[in-house]
Amino acid sequence: MKKTKTLLNKVYEAIESKQGDEITILDVSKISSFTDFFVICHGQNSRQNQAICDEILERLRKEQHRSPTHVEGYQHADWILMDYLDFVVHIFSPRTRQSYKLEKLWGDGVKVKAKALTA
């Protein structure tokens, strides 16, 4: 779990460094069979979303020697999904985030505060 928290903290920092908006981390381990955490954010346009994705890929590859098992949606960048097995990163456009409302859909998940990732 400590390793996962370290990775989530790196993801959070990468999103912040590219000015990603409304970063939410949900612990879905008790209600999901395929992952333990969702990281959800949005950028203001497709270029920013791609930059956020690139930054996450670069930091985790360089600093943690981790690559996602799957990335989809990069080309259009309306909703980029990055699957790291223990956690899934969702990078949305504002409109798409509002439309899918993952935080509401997975509302039984527990919100994780950024401070808890460094504890």
* β-sheet with 21-27: strand ranges across: 70-72, 79-83, 87-92, 37-42, 21-27, 110-111
The pTM is what? 0.95
The CA distance from 113 to 26, in Å, is 9
In the chain the domains, ranked by start, together with CATH numbers, are 2-112 (3.30.460.10)
Q: By percentage, how much of the chain surpasses pLDDT 90? A: 92
Instruction: Go through the chain and tell me how many residues it has.
Output: 119
pLDDT reading at 2 higher than 90: no
Q: What is the pLDDT of residues 22-54, one digit of tens each?
A: 999 999 999 999 999 999 999 999 999 999 999
Mapping DSSP to helix (H, G, I), strand (E, B) and coil, where does residue 17 land? helix
What was the pLDDT predicted at 115?
A: 84
